[in-house]
Amino acid sequence: MPQIFRRSANSYARLSLLGALLLAGGLIGLIMAIGSSSYVTRANEFIEQPIQFSHLHHVGDDGIDCRYCHTSVESSPFAGIPPTKTCMNCHSQIWATAPFLEPVRSSFRDDRPLRWIRVHDLPDFVYFNHSIHVKKGMGCETCHGRIDEMPLVLQQNSLQMQWCLECHRAPEQFVRPRSEVFTMGYRPAVPQSVLGPQLVKEYGIQSLTSCSTCHR
């Protein structure tokens, strides 16, 4: 009986096994790459808002502190979106007749809230609390980036679990003095490798990586 396969078929068989492995690996890699890409996480994407509120102008140019509007950031899980009245504190006089700000004025007049589009939206199965992060010396900038340089706010980080854990595993790399939490463009006066462990000790920061820290 004649042979069905030639001798070279052995090599092809081995090669195709290897190829299948590579293909499977590549596919898994591709899926992971897509999963953490900004296409899925929507990072670095400008989001249209009902009014083009510029943090670049209000924070960068005017030097208004984060807490002027986000009043509950130090005391509650939610940083707080300011009511329209906070806008009107200044805009009752500045640009008081600008057509651009008409949605703000009509919101104030009719007592109808502005519908801001949320930029940093964690999944509902994640518990996150702003106040504890602020108290432990996590700068706004560490997660939100240079807000003072953003005309429209965009999400600069993936907000994926891997990214949270980067800091939860090694908080000493990111912690800053409490007095600098709201500073934009902060640079440590002494090297972070010296300052970080000191602050971790001083503030009693724990490296919390158990599942139930965030998934509760």
- Residues 92-111 as x/- pattern, contact with other proteins by CB under 8 A: xxx-----------------
- Residues 2-21 as x/- pattern, contact with other proteins by CB under 8 A: --x-----------------
**Which residues have C-beta within 8 Å of that of residue 35, sequence separation ≥ 6?**
none
The three-class DSSP label of residue 173 is helix
In order of 38, 52, 63, 143, 212, the CA distances from 157 in angstroms are 9, 21, 24, 7, 22
Q: Does residue 212 touch other proteins according to CB under 8 A?
A: no
Closest approach, Cβ 58 to other proteins, in A, equals 10
- Give the residue with the Cβ less far from other proteins, 118 or 216: 118
Q: Does residue 115 touch other proteins according to CB under 8 A?
A: yes
- Residues 41-70 as x/- pattern, contact with other proteins by CB under 8 A: --------------------xxxxx-xx--
* 95 vs 110: CA distance, rounded Å: 19
- Give the residue with the Cβ less far from other proteins, 93 or 210: 93
The three-class DSSP label of residue 144 is helix
Candidates 10-18, 45-53, 75-83, 159-167 — which segment interacts with other proteins by CB under 8 A? Answer: 75-83
Closest approach, Cβ 201 to other proteins, in A, equals 18
**Where does residue 199 rank: exposed (0-12), middle (13-18), buried (19+ CB within 10 A)?**
buried
Locus of tokens 């908080």 = 171
Q: Does residue 83 touch other proteins according to CB under 8 A?
A: yes
How many alpha carbons lie under 13 Å from residue 129 in its C-beta half-sphere?
Answer: 11
Q: Which of 41, 49, 71, 142 binds other proteins (CB under 8 A)?
A: 71
Q: Which of 8, 48, 100, 125 binds other proteins (CB under 8 A)?
A: 125
The footprint of other proteins on residues 134-193 (CB under 8 A) is: 177, 179-180, 183, 185-189, 191
Buried (b) or exposed (e) across 73-87, using 16+ Cβ within 10 A?
bbeeeebbeeebeeb
- Give the residue with the Cβ less far from other proteins, 168 or 182: 182
Locus of tokens 């519908």 = 115
In terms of Cα–Cα distance, which of 113, 111, 116, 176 is closest to 143? 176
The residues of the shown chain that bind other proteins, judged by CB under 8 A, are 4, 61-65, 67-68, 71, 78, 81, 83, 85-86, 88-90, 92-94, 112-113, 115, 118, 123-125, 177, 179-180, 183, 185-189, 191
